[in-house]
Structure 1
């Protein structure tokens, strides 16, 4: 043992490292298993999202930091259209999720078919789906929209047909103005009311009983008096004497 210590004393760090690796890793690999850390209980952000993610967050405020983290991730999703997994459509099982930023930029789910393995971009149709799912031991429903190509639409409607969303065609302004002018021309009838009925005696009595209002206001009696200066009073006094 002392000889080994003296041997280690005169070795540089690299040579010492090679001796230890050759002795414990290459010749006796079972001895270092006790030094390895147990990774079975390790949790990453992905595990936290899997445990606390919700398809729709209601007004309930998150109580723990895991729920806050899951809700912050939910707020970054785009919830106009969904992405679907139709691999088990014959079993009447369809998986839906919201779109991420990368899919929104590429047009996936809106201008490209919403099936995750389909890239068709022509003749897309919009469907309204009542998505029923289980979350945290509860059964929930959500009304979502999804755009699919004709072949994927058949898979979605394999058991029962969903409600299709269609856009109404806008009429041209010329036709709209023309129809408005026709309607206004057919209904241009003026109604003249004859107001030449004789006044009744009661209305005359009411008019007679109403007193005439004077233009004088009660505040005129309380107007402030104009105070003249001493010079003005002397001028008035002299004028009176001359007259």
Structure 2
């Protein structure tokens, strides 16, 4: 799946693990939160799954959908000049089509290019309880201006990859410096003299440090999809 585009990857995950699920048939007009409440399909714990369902792909799909159903919302910006923005959760069809994720989240806009992610406070009622959540609103340039007409909202940008790359470059430059090379040689010679050869070959690798956990692996894989 890593070779697919973001939209193709999104379609693959939902069509294979969600749309194909019989428990979701006939629910085209239901909201995501209603489907979750009724079926709990993607809120199960790993130990509640059978061996056939506990695959990496199935767990990843559940994690993706779990995040997806409350990650984005749809906005009505008709009264933006009065600082009134109406928000709602996406319908199941909108989730599948990527409306509000890969397509502008303004109610009737179909723009897919030059979208920006804005963080907005969504006040809603769930099971009779008033709740607030910070959600993402994906908008085109025109509707981004409308959203920020009276007050500037917080734009969400991904900087993790850049920061990680920058840190790796700095560490690489430090390792390649003359002082670092000299120090490494000294340490290497000291270790070779002080540690018996038998102990070196009998030493076990720390697998937990070498391999990322499944939690981290999921987050890395889904990072690009949750724009």
TM-score (norm 2): 0.44
- Higher gyration radius (CA): 1
TM-score (norm 1): 0.42
Q: Which structure is higher in RCO with an 8 Å CA cutoff and minimum separation 6?
A: 2
